[in-house]
Amino acid sequence: MSYSRASRKMMIPILALLLLLNGMSGAFAAVSSSASIPSVKIPPVPFAFKSSPLPNVMVIASGGTLAGKAADQTSFQNYKAGTYLMEDLVKQLPDKNKIADVSVYQFGNKGSGGYTIADLYDLSQVVDEALKLYDGVVVTTGTDTMEEIGYFLDLTVQSEKPVVITGAMRPWDVIGTDAPANLYNAIKLAGSGKTTWFGTVLMLNDMIHAVRDVTKSNAHRMDTFETPIMGALGYIDESEIRIYRAPARALKAGKENWKTPFDLKKIAKKSLPIVGIAYNGQEMSGGAIRGFVADGAKGIVTAGTGAGGISSQMSEARKEAIGKGVIFVTTTRTGSGTMYGGGEGIIAGDSLNAQHARILLILALAFSNDFNTIKGWFEGVGTQEIDGSKLAS
Ligand code: SIN
């Protein structure tokens, strides 16, 4: 599965020439037209970059605060997310020649919460298509649902090449914005190749996190992303990229089981089911669970108190739903900690938070209806545990 940037670069002029002859070139930035993946055309690496020694990084932009336009230069929170086009933002970045040759694909331009799960299916395949041509990909999104978008990519992208997701907490055009710095460092990280085999990583505020473990911890602060208990993978200080830990998955580099079972080419977009999150609280009713079932949910994640506890009313509603074939995953609302055990129709969510567990359950249910298969995926793909005694085998 290894790749050589030099050999790819040698193929680029031939490809670019063929496309030029066909009148298809010149699309440095493209906008995805519809949800239909076969129509995705990733612009080839531009001709001008072919003789450059720099890595080729494609920025796949979807909007968010990073591309936000503020009401004025000091309006940190009064802005319209997803306004500026990435092509223009990349043009404004200084010193790109120190880090990468940068190309752009404008996937969309809106807030992260505006994307559907079906859109993520498209996004994932755009990322994989881009990685057939480019050395690494940066995905820009809003930070609100970056945990979900990042983990969806982590579980579905088939390429081992670097995927870095980034965004910003302040819009592009205010004083003290983090947007250009985050974009710059994300491109630097993707181009460095240092997270090859890591799956998707999140980079904001100079910190590098495994998307499976990271969470948005504050509504406004620029250091909002944290990895509870386990900590960040590393950080970026100017030209230094220091990585001190790897996701457990990286230990399977080059092995067939590095890939997850969730190759989206094997399923139709419409097979991604409804999955809800039911949050427990003091004497919480079973209404949320019954509502999700009425909506047609095939799975429900509970965000329980402490070690995953839910109220007796929720428990009653869960029993009814399990009787109808709904699969449950237990998580904790505390923000960290591992769920163990499970039961009939109930899977322990390990240390996944509720939003991550929901993404895994959506994908698992799209690929299987079998409880034990899905439980196995939570124990294998979802539980990123390291057993040193098995590393050499
Ligand atoms: C969004 O998630 O699109 C808005 C908030 C942000 O980008 O930080």
Reported as a single tens digit per residue, the pLDDT across 208-242 is: 999 999 999 999 999 999 999 999 999 999 999 99
CA distance 68 to 185: 18
Query: What mean pLDDT do residues 307-322 have?
Result: 98
The residues facing 137 across adjacent strands are 58, 163
User: Which of 1-5, 193-197, 251-255, 359-363 is predicted least confidently?
Assistant: 1-5
Centre of ligand 1 from the C-alpha of residue 167, in Å: 8
pLDDT of 18 over the 80 cut? no
Ligand 1 pocket mutation pick from 79, 112, 165, 224 by most atoms within 8 angstroms of CB = 112
Q: What is the pLDDT of residue 393?
A: 72
| Residue 162 Cβ < 6 Å to ligand 1 | no
* Residue 95, Cβ density class (10 Å: 0-12 exposed, 13-18 middle, ≥19 buried): exposed
Q: Which atom of ligand 1 is nearest to the CA of 112?
A: 3
Residue 303 CA to residue 331 CA, distance in Å, equals 5
The minimum-distance atom of ligand 1 relative to the CA of 63 is: 3
Q: Is the pLDDT of residue 39 over 80?
A: no
CB 109 within 8 A of CB 142: no
Residue 37 has pLDDT above 70, yes or no: no
| 112 in contact with ligand 1, CB cutoff 6 A | yes
Distance (angstroms) between ligand 1 centre and the Cα of 64 equals 4
Which one of 65, 140, 145, 195 is the catalytic residue? 65
The pLDDT score that the predictor gives to residue 38 is 52
Query: Does residue 306 register a pLDDT over 70?
Result: yes
pLDDT of residue 16: 39
* 70 close to 76: Cβ distance less than 8 angstroms: yes
Residue 120 · residue 150 · CB < 8 Å? no
- Nearest of 365, 362, 356 to residue 383 by alpha carbon: 356
Domain extent listing, the chain: 47-258, 273-379
The CATH number, out of the four listed (3.40.50.1170, 3.40.50.300, 3.40.50.2000, 3.30.530.20), of the domain defined by the range 47-258: 3.40.50.1170
Number of C-beta neighbours around residue 158 at 10 A: 17
Q: What is the mean pLDDT of the chain?
A: 91
Mutate to test the pocket of ligand 1, among 83, 89, 143 (most ligand atoms within 8 A of CB): 143
Q: How far apart are CA 339 and CA 327, in angstroms?
A: 16
Q: What's the CA gap between 79 and 65, in Å, rounded?
A: 8
Same fold, 47-258 and 273-379: yes
Pairing of strands 136-140, 163-166: parallel
pTM for the predicted model, two decimal places: 0.91
- For the Cβ of 171 lying below 6 angstroms from any atom of ligand 1, the answer is no
Pairing of strands 136-140, 56-63: parallel
Separation of 350 CA from ligand 1 center, angstroms? 28
Annotated binding site: 112, 143-144
Q: Are 118 and 137 in contact (CB under 8 A)?
A: no
Q: Per the annotation, where are the binding residues for substrate? A: 112, 143-144
- Chain centre distance of CA 94: 26
Name which residue sits closest to atom 7 of ligand 1, judged by CA: 142
Closest ligand 1 atom, residue 146 Cα:
2
The fraction of the chain above a pLDDT of 70, given in percent, is 90
Given a contact cutoff of 8 angstroms between Cβ atoms, the answer to whether 271 and 295 are in contact is no
Q: Which atom of ligand 1 is nearest to the CA of 66?
A: 7
Give yes or no for residue 317 CB within 6 A of ligand 1: no
CA 276 to ligand 1 centroid distance, Å: 21
H-assigned helices in 178-311? 179-192, 287-295
Q: In the numeric block, which tokens belong to residue 151?
A: 């983990």
Which of the pair, 103 or 48, is modelled with greater confidence?
Answer: 103
Q: Is residue 65 annotated as a catalytic residue, yes or no?
A: yes
CATH architecture of 273-379: 3-Layer(aba) Sandwich (3.40)
| Ligand 1 atom nearest to 167, measured from its CA | 7
* DSSP class per residue in 316-365: HHHHHHHHTT-EEEEEETTS---B--EETTEEE-BT--HHHHHHHHHHHH
Rounded Cα distance between 213 and 151, Å, is 9
Distance 30 CA to ligand 1 centre (A): 22
d(CA 314, CA 291): 12
Q: Judge if the beta carbon of residue 167 lies within 6 A of ligand 1.
A: yes
